[in-house]
């Protein structure tokens, strides 16, 4: 198999989203506005429970999918369709906004910490107006691949060594894995040729492929084409999100909470929201 090499490294930049939540952004920043079909990757981290997070109060979405992955703390969500739930550590929510939904996501500290990710994934034009849906996945439903030196890989979406992630029916055929590696521990996985692939290091450091450079926490690695990716934990180990998906190859017209395929569709989304018919 052809090994993918690192073609770009993007350092996360601090910004503010929602009602004033501090995030570290890589995808969706000025440095890297998007990487088909990925539109956004934010890391949320707060270790000060005396300063409650203002969260993400009611806001609309149309035309894409949002992925919430919680490492620590909790995230409470509600939406215009009457859904309500609380995501705890290890939980995943893959929401397909489709033709429109209004929801809120309110993070809160647990044991002094909030830590997690929000990822946006585009939808093809033919699916942008599909019915909204949630896939709420409990921690125990995510298969874990144990590695020989003590590390592990949580397979959230896609397939890895006989384990299949619980995320189903997503048109971009995504791969999403949480990889935790001990010192000098190596993990390799297949990635379909032609798929977009990135890795975000969020703890420790990691070395990718034959490169000698350590990528430390807060950096996004963009890979060239190929059929596999190999990563090795740095001297203190490392933890990273590995993401891949089939590119859509269509125009992207986005503004705020809407991602459509034309300016006319984008204007219609704002009109529908303003007149109360979006969701």
Stretch 84-102: mean pLDDT: 96
Phi then psi for residue 229, to 5 deg, are -130, 135
CATH architecture of 6-274: Sandwich (2.60)
Residue 213 sits at the vertex; the CA angle it makes with 207 and 215, to the nearest 5 degrees, is 60
Residue 201 sits at the vertex; the CA angle it makes with 215 and 197, to the nearest 5 degrees, is 95
Confidence label for 212 from pLDDT (cuts 50, 70 and 90): confident
Give how far the C-alpha of residue 186 lies from the chain's centroid of Cα atoms, to the nearest Å: 23
Of the chain, the percentage scoring pLDDT greater than 70 comes to: 100
Tens digits of per-residue pLDDT, 43-82? 999 999 998 899 999 999 999 999 999 999 999 999 998 8
Residue 42 clears pLDDT 90, i.e. is over it: yes
Q: What is the CA radius of gyration of the chain?
A: 18
| Mean model confidence pLDDT for the chain | 96
pLDDT value of position 112: 94
Residue 38 clears pLDDT 80, i.e. is over it: yes
DSSP 3-state of 26:
coil
Buried b (16+ CB within 10 A) or exposed e, 182-193: beebebebbbee
pLDDT value of position 13: 96
Annotate 230-249 with DSSP letters as a single string: EEEEEEEEEEEEEEEE----
Tens digits of per-residue pLDDT, 237-256? 999 999 999 999 999 999 99
Distance CA 79, CA 99 (A): 14
Q: How far is CA 72 from CA 61, 75, 113, 167, 273, in A?
A: 25, 9, 6, 21, 33
pTM of the model: 0.96
Confidence label for 83 from pLDDT (cuts 50, 70 and 90): confident
């Amino acid at each position: 198999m052809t090994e993918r090499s690192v073609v770009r490294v993007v350092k996360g930049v601090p910004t503010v989203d929602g009602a004033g939540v501090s995030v570290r952004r890589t995808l969706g920043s000025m440095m890297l506005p998007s990487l088909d079909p990925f539109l956004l990757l934010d890391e949320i981290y707060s270790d000060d429970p005396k300063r409650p997070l203002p969260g993400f109060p009611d806001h609309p979405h149309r035309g894409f999918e949002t992925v919430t992955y919680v490492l620590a703390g909790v995230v409470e969500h509600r939406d215009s369709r009457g859904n309500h739930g609380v995501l705890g550590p290890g939980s995943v929510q893959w929401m397909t906004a489709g033709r429109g939904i209004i929801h809120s996501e309110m993070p809160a500290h647990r044991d002094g910490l909030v830590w997690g990710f929000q990822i946006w994934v585009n939808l093809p034009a033919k699916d942008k107006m599909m019915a909204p849906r949630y896939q709420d996945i409990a921690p125990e439903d995510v298969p874990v691949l144990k590695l020989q030196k003590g590390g592990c890989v949580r397979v959230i979406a896609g397939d890895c060594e006989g384990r299949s992630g619980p995320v189903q029916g997503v048109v971009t055929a995504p791969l999403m894995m949480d990889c935790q590696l001990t010192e000098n521990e190596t993990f390799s996985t297949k990635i379909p040729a032609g798929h977009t692939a990135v890795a975000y290091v969020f703890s420790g450091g990691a070395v990718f492929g034959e490169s000698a450079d350590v990528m430390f926490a807060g950096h996004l690695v963009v890979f060239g084409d190929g059929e596999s990716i190999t990563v090795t934990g740095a001297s203190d180990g490392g933890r990273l999100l590995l993401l891949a998906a089939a590119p859509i190859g269509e125009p992207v017209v986005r503004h705020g909470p809407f991602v459509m395929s034309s300016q006319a569709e984008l204007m219609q989304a704002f009109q529908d929201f303003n007149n109360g018919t979006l969701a």
